Structure 1
Amino acid sequence: MEKMLVQWREELSEELTCDILPFWMAFLGDGVHFAGRIDGRGKAHPEAGKGAVLIARMLWTFSAAYRMTGRPEYLHAAGKLRKFLALWLIDPVHGGVYWEIAPDGSPVCGKKQSYAIGFAVYGLSEYVRATGDPEALDEAAALFGSLEEHVWDAMQGGYVEALTRNWKPLEDMRLSEKDANTYFSMNTHLHLLEPYANLLRVWREDRVATAVRKLIHIHTDRLFDPQTGHLNLFFDARWQPQGRKVSYGHDIEASWLIDEAALVLGEPQVTTDVGPVVEALAAAAVEGLRPDGSLIYEYDPQTERIDADRHWWVQAEAVVGFFNMYERTGDEAFLRRSHDAWQYIRTHLLDGGNGEWFWSVRADGSVNRDDDKAGFWKCPYHNSRMCMELIRRIERLLTKN
């Protein structure tokens, strides 16, 4: 096993530093005049708007890469992105971040999508972890404050999906066209738990710890369905589920992010309490595995429709989530599942010679070149984080052995 782990670590390091990060450094360019999108066939679209999620995820990526490697080019890229976020995406009047800006920097959509603000906190807090920059911490703290003041619904105990630029109710709160227009969603709460836990690492304030604690309980008590082992995805204002669709990628991603948040919080009872949910989510995600090691996208038990596409981010989260379960349980079946998912990625998703990964492989086995290579939703965070998480975890295992 040690030989396999050493080789795996080398493969991940090469993928991160020779494939993923060079692609995104070229994409970023001077950090100002870069295209908002590269399509699936490699064509740049300078006319495309730039989304807050893309910028924030790139900021997280290069900050984390610098923190891990110490390579100055990653710090330089992170600095450019942090400056871009502060100058162009943080709303100087109402707080929060714009959803999208035009190539010239003017706001295209000023709505306050909770998910996007969460990712801005994630990127800035990671920049603080990497550099100790007090101004970046102030920016992250202000965004956290805006979410707690305007987005947290204390009456219903959850974070509202979206509001207008000046924090008023919004009729269409959808995160994307494929999402349901509901008051609460799993996806937004998962991607608030993630940045809040990261913020707590650099800002040990009681109110941040309280927010992390309540988000953990939302996942275990509201989002998790104990009858199925899956997360429900959409909810009305009274937390009634709207549909029963299963997202295997979110199940496995949540399994390790909940675990991580509990460890960051550092309260033994919470760490103990999340255990059954973490393990149930990972076990439920196994339902979506295919013999080639890949994890399919979604299943709707009400219509029995299966979406068997293999999305890039789902495979990346499978690698981390199943490895986390191996560390948690010692069950080598989870280690094999993690490694099999990585082998699937290497064989099917890497765009050899051009860098980065394809969006997905379709159910029929063909590569999806219709969706973006880089853009509003296609960012380096899932795959770079997978590489860095696994490198760190493998090194920890090797040190123990």
Structure 2
Amino acid sequence: MTAHPAPGSLAWLRQEEHDLYAFASASAVADGFGWLDPRGEVVADRPTETWICARMTHVFALADLRGEPRAGRLADHGVRALASGPLRDAEHGGWHEAVPGDPASQDHDQRARKGAYPHTFVVLAAASATVAGRPGARELLKQALGVIEEHFWDEEAGALRESWDRSWNSTEDYRGANSNMHAVEAFLAAADATGDHRWTRRALRIAQRLVHGVAREHGWRLPEHFTPGWQALPDYNRDRPDHPFRPFGSTTGHLLEWSRLLLHLAVALEEAGEAVPAWLHTDARALFDHAAERGWAADGSDGFPYTLDWSDTPVVRERMHWVVAEATMAAWTLGHRLGTTKRAGLYDRWWHYAARYHVDTDHGGWHHELDPEGRPADGVWSGKPDTYHAYQAVLLPQGVLAPSVAGGLLPTTIPGRTP
């Protein structure tokens, strides 16, 4: 009998990488990349959305770096869609949330916001495509960073504004940790692609505010919703706790994601020749250890409940695929950078859980949401919208720890970066 590779092993990761790429390849539509249903078919009655298009462009740029067939063409398709397609606002600049005028875009058109969240993913997509050497990517990255610079970056706060109306006249009366967390990822990728470490320093300022400031002061639980003056709003969305982007309470997956990003940031500062604050390491440990202890099986069943209240009681018990993906990435990153056998054990445990419950061996891709008993669910997320978290999770342990995932796939091209 042929032994199957253990989940999380290099052989297993490589096979899952191929499978995820094959599944994701069906997402291409005329104006970018669409939302996939549980069987891997584009959902016809959903508009093409900027955040999905950008995340998938990033995925295909990574796949191109890995030598996947046709991945370069798919990455180029995404770059073109973001640079000159209907997602880009040719009149006012920046990017719409979704293709305007699409019959499926009615709800998006009514809101007509330009959010920091999708714009950070445009930066990430352009940066990864730039590292991959895709045509037009560097120009797209310059455009996207210009929009961030002009409209979203708040120099006084050291963080991003959340959103604007279409013509950039009024900004939202809200500030969010989620978009700023993804700005850290995007800024590190931009610095990796361009060598401009102004973005590394800005990533540090965001992390210092939200992690070394807010999370540390709240016992390593991170309130994610704030006033424009950055006063925490701990009861925000208490009446809608399962919001997919702005849930009530503490989001364990984000604590794990932050712990990983702090160490990517430490590497970026080293490569920039700048001092690495000691708190990047200590805070990364604290976030990870508290998230693992409080979050895993918090309701008595394996898996990470989506959210906890401020007393660590589960609020939304559904298990999201992106949380366990980020958990494995954080465990690998902390083990690689800081070294502990305890985290290595968690890495194996969480990969076995993901392989057993989230990986869909029938239709491909990962189940994005499970109920507390481990069965596919769709209360928060329907279908399998994108492969961003899962694909990064299978790639990261196969590369080196670098400021960005894309940069970590090119260890021989950057001085001082070794396998």
TM-score, length-normalised on structure 2?
Answer: 0.82
- What is the CA–CA distance in structure 1 between the aligned matches of 2:337 and 2:199, rounded to whole Å? 26
**1:45: how far off?**
2.6
**Correspondence for 2:46 among 34, 45, 48:** 48
Letter in 2 for 1:273: W
Alignment of 1:2-401 (within 5 A): 8-17=9-18, 19-28=19-28, 31-32=29-30, 36-40=34-38, 44-67=42-65, 69-88=66-85, 89-101=87-99, 109=109, 110-131=112-133, 133=135, 135-170=136-171, 173=172, 183-243=174-234, 245-266=249-270, 267-286=273-292, 287-290=294-297, 294-301=303-310, 304-369=313-378, 371-374=381-384, 378-392=385-399
- What is the CA–CA distance in structure 2 between the aligned matches of 1:115 and 1:106, rounded to whole Å? 21
Query: Cα gap change, 1:103/1:166 in structure 2, threshold over 3 Å: closer, same or farther?
Result: closer
Q: Which residue of 2 aligns with 1:176?
A: none
**1:56: how far off?**
0.3
**1:305: how far off?**
4.5
Moved over 4 A (4+): 3-7, 41-44, 102-108, 302-305, 393-396
- Cα deviations across residues 154-200 of structure 1 (Å, max 9, x unaligned)? 34443111001121224xx4xxxxxxxx6211101101010111000
- What is the CA–CA distance in structure 2 between the aligned matches of 1:55 and 1:41, rounded to whole Å? 19
- What is the CA–CA distance in structure 2 between the aligned matches of 1:7 and 1:117, rounded to whole Å? 32
- What is the CA–CA distance in structure 2 between the aligned matches of 1:292 and 1:305, rounded to whole Å? 11
- What is the CA–CA distance in structure 1 between the aligned matches of 2:33 and 2:146, rounded to whole Å? 31
Gapped runs of 5+ residues in structure 1?
174-181
* Residues 48, 103 of structure 1: 8 Å contact kept: no
Query: Cα gap change, 1:285/1:158 in structure 2, threshold over 3 Å: closer, same or farther?
Result: same
- What is the CA–CA distance in structure 2 between the aligned matches of 1:35 and 1:212, rounded to whole Å? 28
Q: Secondary structure at the match of 1:100?
A: coil
**1:33: how far off?**
6.9
Gapped runs of 5+ residues in structure 2?
236-248, 402-407, 410-417
**1:373: how far off?**
2.3
Q: Which residue of 1 aligns with 2:413?
A: none
- Cα deviations across residues 345-370 of structure 1 (Å, max 9, x unaligned)? 11111111211111211113322156
Q: Secondary structure at the match of 1:308?
A: strand
**1:220: how far off?**
3.4
Per mean C-alpha deviation after superposition, the further-off stretch among 102-111 and 344-353 is 102-111
- RMSD of aligned residue pairs (Cα, Å): 3.0
**How many equivalent residue pairs?**
378
Query: Cα gap change, 1:227/1:123 in structure 2, threshold over 3 Å: closer, same or farther?
Result: same
Per mean C-alpha deviation after superposition, the further-off stretch among 266-275 and 379-388 is 266-275
- What is the CA–CA distance in structure 1 between the aligned matches of 2:159 and 2:169, rounded to whole Å? 16
- What is the CA–CA distance in structure 2 between the aligned matches of 1:268 and 1:282, rounded to whole Å? 25
Quick one: higher RCO (CA 8 Å, sep 6+), 1 or 2?
1
Same amino acid, percent of matched pairs: 21
Per mean C-alpha deviation after superposition, the further-off stretch among 143-152 and 280-289 is 143-152
* Residues 41, 369 of structure 1: 8 Å contact kept: no
- What is the CA–CA distance in structure 2 between the aligned matches of 1:192 and 1:393, rounded to whole Å? 21
Letter in 2 for 1:136: A
- Cα deviations across residues 287-309 of structure 1 (Å, max 9, x unaligned)? 11127763222101269443222
* Residues 50, 103 of structure 1: 8 Å contact kept: no
- What is the CA–CA distance in structure 1 between the aligned matches of 2:312 and 2:62, rounded to whole Å? 41
TM-score, length-normalised on structure 1?
Answer: 0.85
- What is the CA–CA distance in structure 1 between the aligned matches of 2:57 and 2:92, rounded to whole Å? 22
